[in-house]
Amino acid sequence: MRLPFLLVVLLALSGTTSAQRIGEGLTARFDRAKGLVLERDSLFKMTVRFRMQNRFALLSTSGDDLTIGGSDIRIRRMRLRFDGFVLSPKIQYKVQLGFSKADMDLVDGTVAQPIRDAVGIYAPDAHWSFTIGQTKLPGNRQRVVSSGALQLPDRSIVNAAFTLDRDYGVFAGWQGRIRTHELAVKAALTSGEGRNASPGDDGLCYTGRLEWLPFGGFTDEGDYFEGDLAQERSVKLAVAAGYSANIHARRAGGQLGEFFPDGQARTLNTFIADALLKFRGLAVTTEFCHREVVGQPVVMAADGGSVLALEGWGWNAQLSKLLGPKNEVVGRYSLVVPSARLMGSTSQREEGWLGYTRYINHHRVKMQGAVSYAWTEGQAAVDTPGARWGGWLQVELGI
């Protein structure tokens, strides 16, 4: 029996998992793990997902003054995602669009940029993949994990300072198994200009990453979501390292940040190492980032202004434990240390977070609460300048 498409969507969202015929050879079904799936034999497949993050956060005036000094109350993310294949399972695609103000980079009043991912992928077998388009670079683990699969309301200050983020170019990947070990090698040659950039200069960005899983793969690809929701029965470990050279970057963070004044550019070299361990509801994550700026990191403008390209290193550590199948506690410590060349221009920063998550449907539907405390220059006392508390509530809802 054929059903109108809208009716099939409503049935899917209500939990109907059996395939419904909606056209000549076209079926629709709802997959609890993947979303709404449309298929036509082996010629076409599209998985449709949406998600939103609603956030309510209050920040204190200082460490010892708990009056409200700022807030983060907004729709942090609103995304639509489409992925699948056309003509053959070897010819794949992925599109992700963002509709919140932050998703479209409108926080600073810039031009709306709804396209987050738009790639075509050729996957000739289970080991190789070749991609062209705009997507995340193979950078630090916390960045390549989806923002919807995080244990705390947002990523760390280390990620904010040194992440590679998204870029446009060509990507290649290989993954395979050697005895009990799994390996993944990822490489990218991209513009270095970030999301939705105009044609750039002669400087490109060269990025590579190697991932090693000595005890085999994680359940349900658990190395790409935070927390041990699968409650691994044996120890699972992922160790990775990567390097990125962004030649003649025009922005302070390479793919992100302010544009350097007067058409100036800098080369940014970033080293990344991270590790993840999961076992019986326990998850431990750590990552280290180091960035070097070729040339002066403080770029001066003709009018006397300046833009700072952060040089230095950062370390992040996160520990969590499931309390039953639906409840979890998590703690995180983060440290960002500028290089000696930036003394007097920016400060050492640290943050501590303690959070709780109630999972309703894995990471797709969850409630998160957290308390954060930030301080500078190694002075963690509440009465020191730069100290600040934060209280966070966030709801993730999607399919």
Grade residue 238 by pLDDT with cuts at 50, 70 and 90.
very high
Grade residue 134 by pLDDT with cuts at 50, 70 and 90.
very high
Cβ pair 32, 365 in contact under 8 A: no
| Same domain as 202, residue 102 | yes
Q: Which two tokens stand for residue 307?
A: 């833009």
Grade residue 3 by pLDDT with cuts at 50, 70 and 90.
very low
For the cut 60, the answer to whether the pLDDT of residue 7 exceeds it is no
Domain-embedded: residue 190? yes
| Same domain as 216, residue 156 | yes
Which of residues 144 and 110 earns the better pLDDT score?
144
pLDDT value of residue 28? 84
Phi and psi at residue 223, to the nearest 5°: -75, -5
| Same domain as 226, residue 170 | yes
Which of residues 265 and 3 earns the better pLDDT score?
265
For the cut 90, the answer to whether the pLDDT of residue 109 exceeds it is no
Grade residue 22 by pLDDT with cuts at 50, 70 and 90.
low
Domain-embedded: residue 358? no
Domain-embedded: residue 271? yes
Least confident stretch, 28-32, 227-231, 387-391, 392-396: 28-32
For the cut 80, the answer to whether the pLDDT of residue 5 exceeds it is no
Grade residue 369 by pLDDT with cuts at 50, 70 and 90.
very high
Quick one: which of 326, 329, 309 has its CA closest to 264?
309
pLDDT value of residue 73? 95
Percent with pLDDT over 90 in the chain: 78
Cβ pair 259, 249 in contact under 8 A: no
| Same domain as 215, residue 170 | yes
Tell me how far the alpha carbon of residue 229 is from its chain's centroid.
Answer: 18
| Same domain as 234, residue 106 | yes
pLDDT value of residue 16? 53
pLDDT value of residue 197? 81
For the cut 90, the answer to whether the pLDDT of residue 106 exceeds it is no
pLDDT value of residue 20? 65
| Same domain as 8, residue 123 | no
| Same domain as 295, residue 184 | yes
Residues β-bridged to residue 53:
77, 396
pLDDT value of residue 198? 77
Grade residue 335 by pLDDT with cuts at 50, 70 and 90.
very high
pLDDT tens-digit series, residues 257-314: 999 998 899 999 999 999 999 999 999 999 999 999 999 999 999 888 899 999 999 9
pLDDT value of residue 15? 53
pLDDT tens-digit series, residues 321-332: 999 889 999 999
| Same domain as 239, residue 104 | yes
How many structural domains does the chain have? 2
Over residues 130-141, the mean pLDDT reads 96
Over residues 363-370, the mean pLDDT reads 95
| Same domain as 183, residue 249 | yes
For the cut 80, the answer to whether the pLDDT of residue 141 exceeds it is yes
Domain-embedded: residue 46? no
For 53-114, the DSSP string reads: EEEEEEEESSSS--SEEEEEEEEEEEEEEEEEEESEEEEEEEEEEE-STTTTTTTTT-----
The alpha helices in the chain, defined as continuous H runs, are 5-13, 141-144, 157-162
Domain-embedded: residue 372? no
Residue 6 gets the label, from left (phi > 0), alpha (psi -120 to 50) or beta, of alpha
Q: Which long-range contacts (CB under 8 A, 24 or more apart) does 173-181 make?
A: 173/128, 173/129, 173/131, 173/138, 174/127, 174/128, 174/129, 175/127, 176/127, 177/216, 180/214, 180/215, 180/216, 181/212, 181/213, 181/214, 181/216
| Same domain as 31, residue 121 | no
Q: Which two tokens stand for residue 283?
A: 């998850």
Cβ pair 121, 135 in contact under 8 A: no
| Same domain as 108, residue 255 | yes
Model-level pTM?
Answer: 0.89
pLDDT value of residue 4? 45
Average pLDDT for the chain: 90
Range of the domain at 244: 78-325+339-347
CA distances from 242 to 185, 290, 355 (A): 10, 11, 29
| Same domain as 23, residue 151 | no
